[in-house]
């Protein structure tokens, strides 16, 4: 094979290995979408008056078509959805606290062939034939205690928000249904579960077409690196118009630190915590057809997500499933791939001629090993209007990778630049890399759960929809 062909073949294989897991976190998870984690977020709340809180959220089952009835997307009753919090031992990738959510589906007797019929009066009104309830379990692994909540502090059952069907069935969706799915628990936490707009933005189509970036990407300059970036077709957000299933929790900072305080000194051993999300299934599933499946045994991890881009850009394709089942505390086993990433040497340098720092990349190892998203609780939240999509690279330390991860952080552009060496002290050759998509297709909320309301099935449009910043399809 000619040298040029060898290089092109290697690049094509690398693209498959590096990015095929974007919202598809490994080959086995293609067959288990309700357990497939997409993104994990942790940040100090920038909602007015709630800066003393930390918000964590996980999105699952990406690329949801809003008009995909009559059986709409839902959480799996057989999947355990878990938030892990590490607040001790120098953040070693072992959990100290866990918050679990377990769902249960109620199918109400009805003569129809649909899950929802008529104008939905409330999140569990009589028009809802498929109702999902859930239980929140807060576990303190140091004391071995667990507290269960299936109702809010007013005695209301914790209920999943229904989908946004359209103006006839779900008029004024957010006011009538979205806000009603936010519950405050007796311990002071707030929780939300339901469909939302996918907050992630990325030109996935151009990237997966063997790095066929649309100009002005991949080296951005001037206005291309500012503001919202160009609209389609110059930049195409491959996630525009799609929904995800979101689980979000908000907790007081004092509930998450090892000593129960809200630290103010960045040198304090309690100043930093970290988190990651996990999905798990029980060890054995029996299918006694025609009866319902029966699940038996301990819960076994199916997927995990800490920092963005880890499994997507750093872990080789044949190892993704093993990585998903492994624990952050054991991430040193992946150091050879993270400390010398082929995306940097083989693509940025090999294809684009960009000078990158030599291995070992201790800057990347410090972020991704263990693969947990760290947050410095002494960094004040940046008001939404003043946030930089580039986080610390844009002078806004309240974003990824040092101040947690907010939903608006442009982790693709930050990640590209980090792989090029921008985090290496004294290394000044990292260009302003990016995919050209600088913002989400629709505005986020400035309050919990921060993700925008889900797109409506009736208004969903591939022609006039949000991909080109056209019709807002979540109203």
Q: Is residue 411 part of a domain?
A: yes
Between CA 32 and CA 55 the distance in angstroms is 27
Check residue 312 and give its pLDDT: 86
- Under a CB-based contact definition with an 8 Å cutoff, are residues 376 and 396 in contact? no
How high is the pLDDT of residue 1? 39
In a domain, residue 162? The reply is yes
Give a yes or no: residue 475 inside a domain.
Answer: no
pLDDT in tens, 363-397: 999 999 999 999 999 999 999 999 999 999 999 99
Classify residue 474: in a domain, yes or no: no
Report how far residue 140's alpha carbon sits from residue 230's, in angstroms, rounded to the nearest whole number.
47
- Domain range for 345 is 3-468
**177 located within any domain:** yes
Indicate the range of 6-20, 48-62, 122-136, 426-440 predicted with least confidence.
Answer: 6-20
Residue 467 confidence (pLDDT): 64
State how many domains the chain has: 1
Label the pairing between strands 130-140 and 97-107.
Answer: antiparallel
* Residue 71: inside a domain: yes
The pLDDT score that the predictor gives to residue 23 is 75
Range in 40-54, 121-135, 210-224, 296-310 the model is least confident about: 210-224
**pLDDT confidence of 470, banded at 50, 70, 90?**
low
280 occurs within a structural domain: yes
Mean per-residue pLDDT over the chain, rounded: 91
- pLDDT of 464 reads 67
pLDDT at site 463:
60
Is 84 inside any structural domain? yes
Closest CA to 91 of 284, 315, 407, 307: 307
Tell me phi and psi for residue 224, to 5 degrees.
-65, -20
pTM, two decimals, is: 0.93
């Amino acid at each position: 094979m000619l040298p040029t062909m060898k290089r092109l073949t290697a690049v094509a294989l690398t693209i498959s290995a590096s990015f095929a897991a974007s919202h598809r976190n490994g080959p086995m998870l293609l067959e288990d979408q309700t357990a497939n984690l997409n993104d994990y977020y942790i940040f100090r709340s920038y909602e007015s008056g709630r800066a003393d809180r930390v918000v964590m959220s996980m999105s699952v089952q990406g690329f949801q078509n809003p008009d995909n009835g009559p059986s709409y997307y839902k959480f799996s009753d057989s999947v355990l959805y878990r938030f892990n919090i590490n607040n001790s031992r120098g953040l070693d990738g072992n959990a100290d606290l866990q918050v679990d959510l377990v769902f249960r589906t109620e199918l109400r007797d009805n003569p129809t062939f649909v899950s929802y019929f008529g104008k939905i009066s409330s999140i569990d009104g009589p028009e809802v034939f498929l109702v999902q309830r859930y239980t929140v379990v807060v576990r303190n692994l140091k004391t071995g205690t667990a507290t269960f909540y299936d109702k809010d502090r007013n005695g209301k059952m914790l209920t999943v928000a229904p989908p946004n069907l359209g103006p006839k069935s779900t008029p004024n969706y957010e006011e009538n249904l979205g806000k009603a799915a936010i519950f405050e628990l007796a311990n002071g936490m707030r929780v939300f579960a339901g469909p939302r707009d996918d907050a992630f933005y990325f030109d996935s189509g151009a990237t997966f077409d063997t790095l066929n970036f649309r100009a002005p990407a991949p080296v951005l300059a001037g206005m291309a690196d500012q503001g919202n970036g160009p609209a389609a077709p110059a930049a195409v957000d491959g996630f525009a118009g799609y929904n995800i299933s979101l689980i979000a929790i908000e907790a007081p900072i004092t509930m998450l630190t090892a000593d129960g305080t809200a630290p103010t000194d960045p040198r304090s051993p309690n100043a930093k915590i970290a988190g990651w999300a996990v999905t798990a299934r029980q060890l054995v599933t029996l299918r006694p057809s025609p009866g319902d499946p029966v699940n038996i045994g301990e819960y076994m991890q199916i997927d995990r997500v800490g920092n963005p881009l880890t499994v997507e850009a750093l872990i080789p394709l044949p190892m993704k499933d093993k990585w998903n089942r492994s624990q952050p505390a054991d991430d040193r086993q992946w150091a050879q791939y993270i400390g010398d990433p082929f995306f940097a040497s083989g693509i940025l340098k090999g294809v684009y001629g960009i000078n990158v720092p030599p291995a070992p990349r201790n800057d990347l190892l410090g972020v991704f090993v263990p693969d947990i998203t760290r947050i410095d609780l002494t960094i004040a939240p940046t008001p939404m209007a003043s946030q930089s999509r580039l986080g610390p690279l844009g002078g806004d330390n309240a974003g990824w990778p040092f101040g947690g991860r907010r939903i608006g952080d442009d982790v693709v552009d930050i990640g590209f630049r980090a792989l090029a060496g921008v985090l290496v002290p004294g290394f000044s050759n990292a260009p302003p890399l990016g995919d050209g998509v600088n913002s989400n297709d629709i505005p986020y909320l400035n309050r919990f759960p921060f993700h925008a309301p889900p797109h409506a099935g009736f208004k969903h449009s591939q022609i006039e929809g949000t991909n080109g910043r056209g019709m807002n399809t979540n109203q």
